[in-house]
Amino acid sequence: MNNLNLKIDNTLKHLSKMPESNSKYDSGQKAKIASAAKQFESMLTSMMLKSMDKTTGGMLGEEGYGNDMFDTVFEQEIASYVSNTKSLGLAEDLYRKITGEDMTPEMKSKINNRISHSSFNSSSVSPDAAPVKPSSGSLDRLNKYDEHIEEAAKSYGVDKNIIKSVIMTESAGNNKAVSSSKAKGLMQLMDSTAADMGVNNVFNPQENINGGTKYLSQMLRQYNGDLKLALAAYNAGPQNVEKYNGVPPFEETKNYINKVMGYLNHFESEQ
């Protein structure tokens, strides 16, 4: 996961050659175009923030305990705020280039509300997965890490039940687990991902859960709160989600998502 170096002087210059569309769009198509434009603006804003962070050692600087934990949270909140307050205006210009019309105030409000409430929680979860009850042994192991899970959930805005469900699917609560592909620890981090997330010891439960949750929160932000796409990226890599424009057609990834969803439905039913 390499940081992207961006140099953006005029965010609209790449739209200047886009041909004007004379075709008519119905209301449903316009809503989809507006939503996609807004998501693109939010993603671009996030990329710009990450690029600036790389040159300054993070929004809070390189020194100080926990600064790397809060950088991601601030990046996420600022990206949403900038996008929703029309500080860039890129979404509106992109929509106008495609449709030849301006976004209506009602459309802007609807999209902003959708993005503001696109969650890092279970409200975006489809209820189509049957609840999966963990074994008593795996639950006993998982319960040992409640404090670390709560801490990571608060730090990155990810629902604690999602974190629990990923841990159950990845390692069944075994902090010493190592997969055939060399993924390690509770949330099965690859060495490269662990390094990117600032994890020094993948077998340290607190560090591993923090790093895994940080990465999951980035995937959630990248896919605008769509939990299934974020899980697909966590399992198969974001490059495969982009390649297939959705959940990759891999049985392992499909089964992975269903299992996480099943655990999530179980944990929510217990509340």
pLDDT tens digits for 11-40?
Answer: 444 444 444 444 567 777 887 787 777 777
pLDDT band at 98; cut points 50, 70, 90: confident
Q: Output the pLDDT for position 261.
A: 93
108 lies in some domain: yes
Residue 5 has pLDDT above 60, yes or no: no
Same domain, 113 and 128: no
pLDDT band at 93; cut points 50, 70, 90: confident
Q: Is residue 207 among the annotated active site residues?
A: no
Do residues 243 and 218 lie in contact, with contact meaning Cβ atoms separated by under 8 Å? no
> What's the total number of domains in the chain?
2
Q: Which of 86, 102, 117 is the last residue of a domain?
A: 117
Same domain, 140 and 181: yes
Same domain, 175 and 130: yes
74 lies in some domain: yes
35: domain range?
13-117
151 lies in some domain: yes
Closest CA to 203 of 227, 184, 190, 222: 184
Task: Supply the DSSP symbol for 10.
Answer: -
Q: Which of 20, 170, 242, 252 is catalytic?
A: 170
Q: Which of 88, 117, 146 is the last residue of a domain?
A: 117
Same domain, 148 and 46: no
Same domain, 248 and 146: yes
Same domain, 131 and 257: yes
Same domain, 215 and 250: yes
Highest mean pLDDT among 82-96, 100-114, 200-214: 200-214
Rounded-to-integer distance, Cα 58 and Cα 71, Å: 6
Q: Output the pLDDT for position 83.
A: 47
Same domain, 139 and 265: yes
- The CATH number of residue 134's host domain is 1.10.530.10
Closest CA to 186 of 162, 154, 163, 214: 163
Do residues 213 and 163 lie in contact, with contact meaning Cβ atoms separated by under 8 Å? yes
Same domain, 104 and 83: yes
Phi and psi for 178 in degrees, rounded to 5? -135, 125
Same domain, 142 and 265: yes
Average pLDDT, the chain: 77
| Least confident stretch, 53-62, 67-76, 174-183 | 67-76
Residue 119 has pLDDT above 50, yes or no: no
pLDDT in tens, 142-188: 999 999 999 999 999 999 999 999 999 999 999 999 998 999 999 99
pLDDT band at 70; cut points 50, 70, 90: very low
Residue 49 has pLDDT above 70, yes or no: no
